[in-house]
Structure 1
Amino acid sequence: MDSSVYMAYDYPVLGAFWTMMWIFLWVLWFVLLFRIIVDIFRDDTMSGWAKTGWLVLVIALPFLGVFVYVLARGKGMGKREMEHARAQQEALDTYVRETARGAGRTSEVDELAKLSEIRARGDISDEEFRRAKEKILH
């Protein structure tokens, strides 16, 4: 057995730490890169040529492009992200309200109010009002 066999326990703890740190930094780098690309497409204030220029810079020279983009437009990234989140929340709230309302269905309270108005005008009798009220509530 002249050749040495490396086992898992031969890997030093410091080496494992450095490996995990490099993996973390690479994942962090790709997250930042893709957030910037999404921000470029999300920004409505930029023209198409400006978006193309930033995109080419970020893809052709990634480290320099990302650094320059964050310095030049970093504050706006946060504002655009907040606006996007706010718009999504408003869309969700609107959807929930419309769904809870029943999409065009009137509520029992509205129907009872209309029925009460009809009775107050004298268009229906008290007995008819009672029967219609029972139908609405059941």
Structure 2
Amino acid sequence: MVWSFFLVADLIVLFQVVIDVFRNDDLSGWGKAVWVLALLLVPALTALIYLVINGSGMAARQRGGRGPVPEPSDPQIINAPTPVDQIAQAKALLDSGALTADEFAALKAKALG
């Protein structure tokens, strides 16, 4: 069981390194090929060397793929309408005749789910 844990952990590290090699814009095509070839020939040692050399860049590249994380004090987060607000707005539009009952039901389902 211990060996299977280490095997799974090793595979996870190898996949993360391979993904980061292809995300890395600083490497040329030949550089990426050399890293992948080294990972195939001597996986554990190559992954360790790659993590030492590019460890801080890996985190930045992984965060960069998701986009910026909004701050809790961001006005867009604070003023975001709640589902109750969305349903109340839709109900006001329904009462004014701007929406049909089917459109109201669709907006209500979207707000709730």
In structure 2, the CA distance between the partners of 1:135 and 1:29, relative to structure 1 (3 Å rule), is same
Unaligned 5+ segments in structure 2 are 70-95, 101-113
Number of positions where the alignment pairs a residue of Structure 1 with one of Structure 2: 78
TM-score (norm 1): 0.49
Calculate percent identity across the aligned residue pairs: 31
- In structure 2, how many angstroms separate the alpha carbons of the residues matched to 1:66 and 1:137? 59
The structure with the greater share of residues assigned to helix is 1
Shift of 1:43: 1.3
Shift of 1:84: 1.1
Shift of 1:69: 0.5
In structure 2, the CA distance between the partners of 1:66 and 1:137, relative to structure 1 (3 Å rule), is closer
- In structure 1, how many angstroms separate the alpha carbons of the residues matched to 2:29 and 2:7? 30
- In structure 1, how many angstroms separate the alpha carbons of the residues matched to 2:7 and 2:22? 23
Give the aligned residue type for 1:82: R
Q: Which has the higher contact order (CA 8 A, sep 6+)?
A: 2
Larger radius of gyration: 1
Segments of 4+ in structure 1 off by > 6 A? none
1:64 equivalenced with 2:64 (yes/no): no
Task: Give RMSD over aligned pairs.
Answer: 2.6
- In structure 2, how many angstroms separate the alpha carbons of the residues matched to 1:137 and 1:61? 65
Match of 2:23 among 27, 42, 63: 42
Identify the residue that residue 92 of structure 1 maps to in structure 2. none
